[in-house]
Amino acid sequence: MKITPSKLRKSLFGFLFSTVIFALLNILFKYLQFLPNYADFRISALYPVMAGLFFGPWGALGCAVGNLISDFFGTLNYESWLGMLANFLFAWLPYRLWHTILPFENHKVQFVSSTKTLVKYTLIASFSTMASMAVLASGCDLLGVFDFSEFFRPVFLCNLYFALFLGTTFFLLASILLPIKFYVPKKLYTSEYCHKRYIPDYFLCAIIIIAVGFRYILSKHLNDAGALPFVTNIVIFAGVLILAFLPLRRSKKPRGYNKLKIKKDKGLQLQIITAFFVVISVSTLYLVIFLLNNLSSFNGFQDTSLIMQGVLKMVNLFGFVCIFVLLITLVWIEKRISKPIMKLAETSSKFVENGLRAEIPDYNNLSVEISTLAQSYRKMSADIESYVSTIEAQTKREEYARLMLEMSAKIQLGMLPKPLTDSNFLLSSFIKPARVVGGDFYYFTKLDSGRLLLCIADVSSKGMPAAMFAAEACTLVKCSKNLSLEEMLVNVNNSLCEINSDDMFVTMFVGIIDTNKRKFEFVNAGHNYPIIWNGKNAEWLKSKPDLVLGLFSNMTYHLNNIDINDDFQILMYTDGVVESENINHSFFGNERLENLCKSLNTNSSDTDSQLDTVVKQVEKFSDGAEQSDDITAVIAKTCR
């Protein structure tokens, strides 16, 4: 096993801390003896169980060394090795048994924070105290130093009191207040755990308890002569050692996860347990002082050792009664409060997993608060189900609408003319709706070898209504392409007026480039002025505009014309170009467009690059701002 520097530091800290604490507690209170020459008032017994759980084998080793150091202060003899062994086992057995037996919840890393874990802790702490003191008593008995029962009973009662009551109190307070975690054998928890493989541990625990009880009866009430006491001492001594050094991990098969998550539970039950044990420890201390002050004055109780044993027996009984009351309290809390809340939490976690369906327990027979919480949760879950159903239906509708819009956009783009390939004309076009579909469109077609019809239009609205109105207008233009320009617009206007119930209108510019007559004829129905190059300079193609289309029927539209040169070029656009806004809400404007057109290289035969320059300058200007209108532009150029 690889030992990292961090793990080595923690291990050395656990060893040195345990050594110092255990040695100091022994030395400071060594003068408080209630069995002269061999048993002191072992206040240090409050630490070993804590050391084993917090620091593992290093804490146990520290207790052993600490006990040896304290023996140098007046009690060092050849039996001191037994004291080292007993105090090592006193800390080692809780660590070992905590992680191997009584796996109440599928062998997870657990802390003392519930009824089951408190029962587990109480049993393990009591057994470890009995087993370690039995090893010491049986060893001394085998060496002929002390009689088993005379030594075991008082030492066990004293150590049990400090380990189980004061020790548990300090352990719980430390687990809450200090950044200390259990020493966890990670390989044990990351390997497959089979409870049946730990049956020998339970069997040895039972053998040790029976042997200790039998040995005490032999020594106290039966004939202590013969080989039976000797054999019983051997069974106790060997049984505890075998139990202590059985392997913790009994499978090397991986458990299914490599990273062990250790979380210390600091919930309500841990706080209740801690508060209870603070009360128990204070109460028992007061009881010890009270009994010592009163029992010593009674006749027949002048022997200090008998007085102390009687006091410890009564105090331990009182403490166990308090623990029993605590367990009943915790069972009530778990049944009435903790489990219902945990069940609600579990139901909440499964709520989404089960498709917003989870069975909610009936807590009407519990407290008003829990019942109210359950009812609130039931209403909340029902509301969520209703909301989610509504949102799902709305999402389906929106998705359907989105698909329809996308199809409409494809249809709308499909209505636009295909790119022009002709030796007499060059033409480039661009369209970008502000939404999925828009109200702009353009149209161009060759009327004959020397004539090119151009059209660009902008519907007043946006979105689907504008797109449908634009489609109708575009269709009317296509159907009227063989008419004169004035007749075309009269026809389009009258037809749109018949279907226009929402007061929409269309601005439109139509023109015909006639290279044979060297003329450009056009009609402007309320549209933006185009920019032309009829030579080298860019200029506005201004005229008296006619009324927009779609508002009033039977309107008259006027034809305009200009002479053109061989290198005639025109830029037609919608107001989405000049009215593009930047983040400061400023418009691109006519002036910027005019200056930009003057900078274009009109000698180039690449109208695509010219139009791309215009579009990019508009997009650069409005970068960061939301597009507010459809952008459409067309450049047409005659070829020499």
Q: For the CA atoms of 326, 328, 331, 332, what is the dihedral angle to 10 degrees?
A: -110
What percentage of the chain has pLDDT greater than the value 70? 87
| Residue 371 pLDDT greater than 90, yes or no | no
pLDDT for the residue 509: 96
Strands 538-540 and 506-514: unpaired
Using only C-alpha atoms, the chain has a radius of gyration, in whole angstroms, of 48
Both tokens assigned to 139: 């060893």
> Contact, 603 vs 423, CB < 8 A?
no
Over 80: is that where the pLDDT of 448 sits? yes
Q: Which of 161, 226, 185 is nearest to 98 (CA)?
A: 185
Query: Using 50, 70 and 90 to split pLDDT, how confident is the model at 458?
Result: very high
- Whether the per-residue pLDDT at 559 is higher than 80: the answer is yes
- The percent of residues above 90 in pLDDT, for the chain, comes to 34
Confidence of residue 262 (pLDDT cuts 50, 70, 90): low
Query: What is the average per-residue pLDDT within 30-43?
Result: 65
Model confidence, pTM? 0.60
Query: What pLDDT sits at residue 283?
Result: 86
Average pLDDT over residues 26-47: 73
Q: What is the pLDDT of residues 116-163, one digit of tens each?
A: 888 999 999 999 999 999 999 999 888 888 888 888 888 898 899 999
How far are the Cα atoms of 370, 406, 462, 615 from residue 397, in angstroms, in the given order? 40, 14, 21, 35
What is the rounded (10 degree) CA torsion for 504, 509, 512, 513? -150
Could you give the angle at which helices 199-220 and 148-161 cross, rounded to 10 degrees?
A: 120
Q: pLDDT (tens digit, 9 = 90+) per residue, 42-51?
A: 888 999 999 9
For the cut 60, the answer to whether the pLDDT of residue 258 exceeds it is: no
3-state helix/strand/coil string of 36-91: CCCEECCHHHHCHHHHHHHHHHHHHHHHHHHHHHHHCCCCCCCCHHHHHHHHHHHH
Evaluate if residue 489 carries a pLDDT over 90.
yes
SS3 label, residue 561: strand
Q: What's the confidence (pLDDT) of residue 364?
A: 59
User: For residue 301, is pLDDT > 50?
Assistant: no
CA distances 380 to 386, 393, 588, Å, are: 10, 20, 52
The average confidence (pLDDT) of the chain is: 84
Give the model's pLDDT for residue 445.
92
Query: Which H or E run contains 608?
Result: helix 607-621
Residues 82-93: what's their mean pLDDT? 94
- 264 vs 238, residue with greater confidence: 238
DSSP state, residue 28: H
Q: Name the nearest CA neighbour of 55 among 20, 28, 95, 4.
A: 95
Superfamily designation of domain 418-638:
PPM-type phosphatase domain (3.60.40.10)
* C-beta of residue 636 within 8 angstroms of C-beta of residue 426: yes
Band (318; pLDDT cuts 50, 70, 90): confident
User: Would you tell me how many other CB atoms lie within 10 Å of the CB of residue 286?
Assistant: 11
| Residue ranges of the chain that CATH labels 3.60.40.10 | 418-638
How much is the pLDDT for 535? 74
pLDDT in tens, 588-612: 999 999 999 888 877 767 888 889 9
pLDDT at residue 625 tops 70: yes
Query: How much is the pLDDT for 55?
Result: 93
As a whole number of angstroms, the distance between CA 154 and CA 157 comes to 5
- Segment 173-191, tens digit of pLDDT: 888 888 777 888 888 888 8
The helix/strand/coil state of 581 is strand
| Tokens (6 digits) for 325 | 């009351």
Q: What pLDDT is stored for residue 22 in this prediction?
A: 92
Strand partners, 549: 506
The larger pLDDT score, comparing residue 396 to residue 258, is at 396
Residue 300 has pLDDT above 50, yes or no: no
Q: Are the beta carbons of 510 and 545 closer than 8 angstroms?
A: no
